[in-house]
Chains A and B, each alone.
Chain A
Amino acid sequence: MAAPVALHLEFGGGAELLFSGQKEHHVTLPSQSEPWDMKQLLVWIQRNLLKERPELFVQGDSVRPGILVLINDADWELMGKLDYQLQDKDNVVFISTLHGG
């Protein structure tokens, strides 16, 4: 069994508006047989934090185009993306890209 994982989730660039405007969330993923990865985290977020309009946040099994995912202040592309195995106390940020000027 993998132990529970405590995470610091952040939403910004407008993505927080899908979570009642709350930018920071401290969450604990329950213990499960397999280690938690990003793919499972997205499903967990959909079920537990995101109540309405999931299409504004996810598309297929990933985030929708225009949202940048950062794991511990690095682009998730550098960290294995959906396959990244989450560690206790990881910081995961979802940033919606801004276009205004």
Chain B
Amino acid sequence: MAQEVCSLKAQLEEREKEISALKNKLAQLEKKGHGSELKLQNKVEPLSPLSGKPALSNQDIMRYSRQLLLPELGVKGQLNLSKTSVLVVGCGGLGCPLAQYLAAAGIGRLGLLDYDEVELSNLHRQVLHGEENQGQAKALSAAESVQRLNSTVECIPYHLQLTPENALQLIQQYDIVADCSDNVPTRYLVNDACVLSGTPLVSASALRMEGQLTVYNYKGGPCYRCLYPVPPPPETVTNCSDGGVLGVVPGLMGCFQALEVIKIASGQGSSCSQQLLMLDAQDLRFRSIRLRPKQAGCAVCGENPSVTRLIDYEAFCGSAAADKCRKLHLLSNNQRITVQEYKSIVDNSSPHILLDVRPLVEVEICNLPFSLNIPLSSLEDRRSEDIQLLQERVSQLKQQMAGDSQPAVYVLCKQGNDSQKAVQVLEKMSGSEVDSIAVKDICGGLVAWAMKIDPTFPQY
């Protein structure tokens, strides 16, 4: 009797070991089938339907236990998350924290889209990318990072530019879209594609020390165009590479986006439709604004829409769908010199004034020796101390020069846009507000100087 019990116990133990080994093997195979094999997509392809989990496994219960305890989420909300797909447009300062929290929370499928590659100047805010990811597609770098965090989330990295040709096909495959882009044409494109496909849009933006968040096209609320029927003039739009941004500001806004996406996906619903949340990080002040409702006259979501398919958004906005510098062409060739020509002027010690028109904060980052700094804004505002300073330098130069030729003023900025505007202002001032001068723009600014003349000169 006792012997029989012993033998049965031993057999049972044996079988249990076998079962546990089989379970492990299965789990590992499932894990492989899911994550680890990330394939970078260069074009939009149809996705298999997202099934979601029928029930939570023991692993799921443990992993999500702290949020399962919330009555606002619960098991039902968690299962809803696993059935939801989210497209993140832009894997930058907003997209990184957003994707991170969505993956951690157990979203079902995460599309990660970015046309760009990781650069050193991204790392202060785009926190899914590491030093070793420089040069790599941002979409892939973000997907790998997210996959390490939660291998049960299906990640699809898209290394492509969202265009009027591919946007609708891509967006209609997702349940929710998060706009984390960095330019105006993309914001209108994403909005219109979301309206046309009936997809809620969780949109955030950040610049300098400020952030904004709104949920569009959700439960009968307004769309982006209801609020902004006409795009802003391109010259009034500042991007992060010109205006700067403190990393934690898009970080905060991306987290708010994640919050609203999770609330929509789990079934709690967003409270940010027809609301604008604004963050002033300098004063640490939040403000929630009641917005206009959906507009009957809206061009895309109104009663008689004129936009019934996607259009050319770069033409509509008058700017490019990338956060790259726009190159202005305000001057004729004889008003400009190349950095090589300026180098030989320096080498020949030809008397001249080098006028750096960048803001002081940028001059403090780096500057060329002997340059005179008067910011473009001071010239435009005709700030009297600065005009006086310029006049003094012009007089000094005149005394050094023989004959009655005009003193030469070469104007410099970061990449050669502001310097062209400054040349136009200075030409108006020449002969009236200051003595007559010969003004020329240094083409391409300090960026060109660093690239073509002095590779040790810092770039920012």
- Chain A residues within CB distance 8 Å of chain B: 12-14, 23, 51-53, 55-56, 64-68, 70, 73-75, 77-78, 95-101
B94 and A74 within 8 A (CB): no
Secondary structure type dominating chain B contacts: mixed
B278 and A101 within 8 A (CB): no
B381 and A51 within 8 A (CB): yes
- Alpha-carbon gap, A79 to B288, bound state (A): 17
B205 and A100 within 8 A (CB): yes
A13 and B212 within 8 A (CB): yes
Closest approach, in angstroms, between the C-beta of A73 and any C-beta of chain B? 6
Most buried by B among A13, A23, A78, A98: A98
A99 and B207 within 8 A (CB): yes
Within 8 A of A (CB), among B333-362: none
- Alpha-carbon gap, A13 to B281, bound state (A): 11
Can you list the 5 inter-chain pairs with the closest CB atoms, starting with the nearest?
A66-B232, A65-B230, A77-B292, A98-B205, A100-B207
B236 and A99 within 8 A (CB): no
Closest approach, in angstroms, between the C-beta of A17 and any C-beta of chain B? 8
A66 and B233 within 8 A (CB): yes
A99 and B243 within 8 A (CB): no
Of B93, B236, B250, B288, the residue contacting A96 (CB under 8 A) is B236
A98 and B232 within 8 A (CB): no
A65 and B207 within 8 A (CB): no
- Chain B residues within CB distance 8 Å of chain A: 90, 92-95, 179-184, 187, 204-208, 210-212, 227-233, 235-240, 243, 245, 250, 276, 278, 280, 287-292, 323, 380-381
- Alpha-carbon gap, A52 to B425, bound state (A): 13
A99 and B292 within 8 A (CB): no
Residue of chain A at shortest CB distance from B95 = A101
Q: A52-B381, A75-B291 are in contact. Are A100 and B233 (CB under 8 A)?
A: no
Of B205, B227, B276, the residue contacting A99 (CB under 8 A) is B205
- Alpha-carbon gap, A13 to B237, bound state (A): 11
Contacts A74-B290, A100-B239, A100-B323 supplied; 5 other A-B pairs, CB < 8 Å: A14-B243, A77-B291, A77-B292, A100-B93, A101-B179
Closest approach, in angstroms, between the C-beta of B139 and any C-beta of chain A? 14
Residues in B with CB closer than 8 Å to A75 are 276, 289-292
Of A70, A97, A101, the residue contacting B289 (CB under 8 A) is A70
A65 and B231 within 8 A (CB): yes
Closest approach, in angstroms, between the C-beta of B233 and any C-beta of chain A? 7
Of B95, B240, B290, B381, the residue contacting A100 (CB under 8 A) is B240
- Alpha-carbon gap, A67 to B229, bound state (A): 11
Residues in A with CB closer than 8 Å to B288 are 73
- Alpha-carbon gap, A53 to B233, bound state (A): 13
A98 and B206 within 8 A (CB): yes
